[in-house]
Amino acid sequence: MHRSSRATLDATTLRTRLFIGGQWVDGDDGAEIEVLDPHDGTTITRIAEARATDVDRAVDAAERAFPAWAGTPAAERGRILLRVADLIESNAAELARLESTDTGHPLRDSTRLDVPRTAATFRYFGGMADKHEGSVIPSERGFLNYLAHEPIGVVGQIVPWNFPLMFTSWKLGPALAAGNTVVMKPSELTPLSTLRVAELLQEAGLPDGVVNIVPGYGTTAGWAIVTHPRIRKVSFTGSTAVGRRVVEGSAGNLKRLQLELGGKGANIVFEDADLEQAVNGSAFAIFHNQGQACIAGTRLLLHERIADRFLDDFLSVATNIRLGDPLDMATEMGPLTSSIHRDRVLAYVEVARGEGAEILCGGDGASDPDLAAGYYIRPTVVRARPGDRVSREEVFGPFVVVTTFTDEDEALEIANSTEYGLGNGLWTRDLSRAHRVASRLQSGMVWVNAYKRVSPASPFGGVRGSGYGREMGFEVMHEYTQPKSVWVNVGADLPVWFARPEREKAADG
Ligand code: NAD
């Protein structure tokens, strides 16, 4: 265990080794990953790095644990998840600090959103465990035909760095409720809260080997999960480019896939919208979590009649957002999570300029010298055309593209013109238009007079380049189970299809 460079983390609860078979272990190669604090670029700690042989060990442990876990009464599996939810809450302050230090999320956000949502999601799936019922199918007279939902086996879960704590509950909650065992790879950039949750799972009574955590790089540990012949399903959250590679790499044993990929959400403001609400909601849509959200409202489509009024107000909100140390409760926007990613987002500012877009605000780092060593970017608003690269490609930062439209058809054409289809939103007081536009938006989620609402009860996921499969709700339970149809003859007359030879009939008699 290593001490934190900032005196803010409790070194006694900081976990830095791989979690395999209920033990904290080093990687076979003894390799380590340096975990950096995005506020100032200093080292928080060094963690063990998992490689392919460590993934093998984790799969062995998960395979050994599977029969007993799958056979554990569903209510008991649920009880453990409910205890995890309680433990997340009783360790809320520490988890929020850990997440904010590792990711750069403002403490205000981790405290009010990340931690409570993580607890709520574990609790929801704790309740779900014994409620995901099978069914009886009225298929044929004389038969009891029932459908059972059986766990799949060892599942691999690969997650990105933008909401690592929350993703432990999104991924582990349903997988465990359904009776699977898990090998999870957090992002190499943000492994700390995931490792701490592993410890809380153990404290809650989860048997050894049911969950194994193998932090490592995508091309080594991640790829070992994707291609592993004994992993039966992979749930992947990350970029569309890597998602495509996951599809190819998984072909060997035909494992099932669930892909939660990138987004380029359109946020459409019609001329009859409540502009005050729309401005507030649109600022949350893009600037919360520094815009590092797959469902961020990254394209602001404004009706030409209200565009100037909306923008006046929106720019004043954007330019007044308080950037600062994520651990300061007054901070509204923290740093981006890594320097590489900060550079990628800033490169898009140059792309925008090159395409003749107008930078309405931001486009650079924080002006405060205290933040100079961190990965900060000021809220950035850019006026661009729908065909421009910055209007089509995922930037994944506090970077919003503004464009105007003249009528509903044009708004829909622009909204549906990217390769993505995750979440879109619209603001209007016209009820018919709200439903009409919602039905014509090509995405897995639509918000009306709101943006970026998420609940453990509501299916979450995308269409087209945003992937397939769903997290959350009853839907996700189908992702983590396989249906088995069982036919029991309870009095059907079976047809005699092939005549039996006389000799046998005589012997029977
Ligand atoms: P990424 O695709 O680079 O990495 C995601 C995860 O995959 C990481 O753990 C990484 O180590 C791993 N990985 C990378 N290459 C791999 C490979 N070849 N084989 C196996 N694993 C590999 O994405 P990122 O930069 O970490 O995260 C940002 C992306 O995630 C954005 O595109 C964002 O939209 C997306 N995202 C989607 C959702 C959703 O639910 N749809 C949610 C959050 C983030």
Residue 456 in this model has a pLDDT that exceeds 90: yes
How many whole angstroms from 290 Cα to the centroid of ligand 1? 17
Band of pLDDT at residue 12, cut at 50, 70 and 90? confident
How far is residue 444's CA from residue 469's CA, in Å, rounded to a whole number?
A: 10
Which ligand 1 atom is the nearest neighbour of the CA of 466?
41
Contact 388, 380 (CB under 8 A): no
* Residue 13 pLDDT grade (very low, low, confident, very high; cuts 50, 70, 90): confident
Please, which pLDDT band fits residue 4 given cuts at 50, 70 and 90? very low
Q: What pLDDT score does 504 carry?
A: 62
Mean pLDDT of all residues in 371-375: 97
Band the pLDDT of 27: cuts 50, 70, 90.
very high
Give, using CA atoms, the residue closest to atom 23 of ligand 1.
238
Given the residues 49, 99, 260, 408, the one annotated as active site: 260
**Which backbone phi and psi does 213 adopt, to 5 degrees?**
-115, 125
pLDDT band at residue 507 using 50, 70 and 90 as cut-offs: low
* Residues 449/272, Cβ–Cβ less than 8 Å: no
Among the listed residues 244, 240, 301, the one whose alpha carbon sits nearest the alpha carbon of residue 424? 301
| pLDDT band per the 50, 70, 90 thresholds, residue 505 | low
* Mean predicted confidence (pLDDT) in 62-80: 98
Average pLDDT across the chain, whole number: 96
Judge if pTM exceeds 0.85. yes
pLDDT tens-digit series, residues 376-392: 999 999 999 999 999 99
pLDDT at 417: 98
Q: Among 114, 187, 392, 394, which is best to mutate for testing ligand 1, by the most ligand atoms less than 8 A from CB?
A: 187
Residue 361 a catalytic site member: no
* Cβ(245) – ligand 1 distance below 6 Å: yes
Q: What is the dihedral sign for C-alpha 33, 244, 452, 345? A: positive
Residue 209: CB within 6 Å of ligand 1? no
pLDDT for residue 414: 98
Q: Contact 39/120 with Cβ under 8 angstroms? A: no
The pair of structure tokens assigned to 455 is: 């609940």
Q: Is the pLDDT of residue 2 over 50?
A: no
pLDDT 10s digits, 134-182: 999 999 999 999 999 999 999 999 999 999 999 999 999 999 999 999 9
Contacts of 62 (CB under 8 A, 6+ apart): 154, 181, 182, 183, 209, 210, 212
Are 457 and 128 spatial neighbours (Cβ–Cβ below 8 Å)? no
| Across 83-88, average pLDDT | 98
Best substitution site from 294, 339, 452, 466 to test ligand 1's pocket, by max atoms within 8 Å of Cβ? Answer: 294
261: pLDDT strictly greater than 90: yes
